[in-house]
Structure 1
Amino acid sequence: MSVMSDLVERGGIPEGYKVEVFDGRVIMTPQSPEQDWTVSDVKDAVKASGIARERVFGDVLITFPGENDAAPDLTIVGFDAERRRNSYSCLDVLAVVEVPSEPDDEKDYVRNVRKYGRYGIEYYMIADPFRKAVTLMTEPRDSGYGRSVEIPYGQVVAFTLATGERVRIDTSTFPARDAQDG
Structure 2
Amino acid sequence: MSDLIERGGIPEGFKVEVFGGRVIMTPQSPERHWTVRDVESAVSAAGIARERVFGDVLITFPGENDAAPDLTIIGFDAERRKNSYSCIDVLAVVEVPSEPEDEKDYVRNVRKYGRFGVDFYMIADPFKQTVTLMSEPHASGYGRVIEIPYGQPVGFTLATGERVKIDTGTFPTRAADGR
TM-score (norm 1): 0.97
1:168 equivalent in structure 2: 165
CA distance in 1, matches of 2:18, 2:7: 16
Corresponding residue of 1:21: 18
- Secondary structure of the residue aligned to 2:122 is strand
Q: Which of the residues 61, 70, 74 maps onto 1:73? A: 70
Amino acid in the other structure paired with 1:173: T
Q: Per-residue deviation at 1:88? A: 0.2
Secondary structure class of the residue paired with 2:82: coil
- Counterpart CA distance in 2 for 1:126 and 1:61 is 18
Q: Which amino acid aligns with 1:95?
A: A
Q: Deviations over 1:66-108 (max 9, x none)?
A: 0110000000000000000100000000000000000000000
SS of aligned partner of 1:114: helix
SS in 2 for 1:46: helix
Give the aligned partner of residue 31 of structure 1.
Answer: 28
Where do 1:92-111 residues align within 5 Å? 92-111=89-108
CA RMSD of aligned residues (A): 0.6
* Residue equivalent to 1:114: 111
Match for residue 135 of structure 1?
Answer: 132
Question: Aligned equivalents of 2:54 and 2:6: distance in 1?
Answer: 18
Provide the residue aligned with 2:141 in structure 1: 144
SS at 2:177 equivalent: helix
Q: Which runs of 5+ in 1 are unaligned?
A: none
Question: Quick one: distance in 1 between partners of 2:83 and 2:5?
Answer: 8
Report the 3-state secondary structure (helix = DSSP H, G, I; strand = E; otherwise coil) of the residue aligned with 1:136.
Answer: strand
Structure 2 spans left out of the alignment, 5+ residues: none
Aligned to 2:84: 87
Count residues in correspondence: 179
Shift of 1:6: 1.2
Task: Give per-residue Cα distances to partners, 1:114-133, cap 9 Å, x unaligned.
Answer: 00000000000000000000
Q: Give the structure 2 partner of residue 125 of structure 1.
A: 122
Deviations 1:7-26 (A, max 9, x none): 11111100000000000000
Percent of aligned pairs with the same amino acid: 80
